[in-house]
Amino acid sequence: MRKRGIAHLYRRVSGTAMKIVKTFYRIYLRRSALEASKRFYLDLQGLQRPHHEFHYQAHRLDIVAIGNVLLIAGDAADTARFEPTRLTCLVDDLDALRAYFLDAGVRIVDEIKTVPSGRNLRALNPDGTLVEYVQHSEEFKRTMSDNAYD
What domains can be seen in the chain, in order of their start residue? 6-141 (3.10.180.10)
Beta strand 20-29 with 69-73: parallel, antiparallel or unpaired? parallel
Q: Give the pLDDT score at 24.
A: 96
Per-residue model confidence (pLDDT) at position 143: 81
Output the pLDDT for position 3: 44
Q: For residues 66 and 143, what is the distance between their CA atoms, to the nearest angstrom?
A: 14
pLDDT profile of the chain (150 residues), mean per 10:
47 64 96 98 94 93 96 97 95 94 95 95 96 93 69
Residue 112 C-alpha from the chain's centroid: 13
Categorise residue 15: left if φ over 0, alpha if ψ from -120 to 50, beta otherwise. Answer: left
| Size of the chain in residues | 150
Class of residue 143 by CB neighbours under 10 A (exposed 0-12, middle 13-18, buried 19+): middle
Q: Are 118 and 92 in contact (CB under 8 A)?
A: no
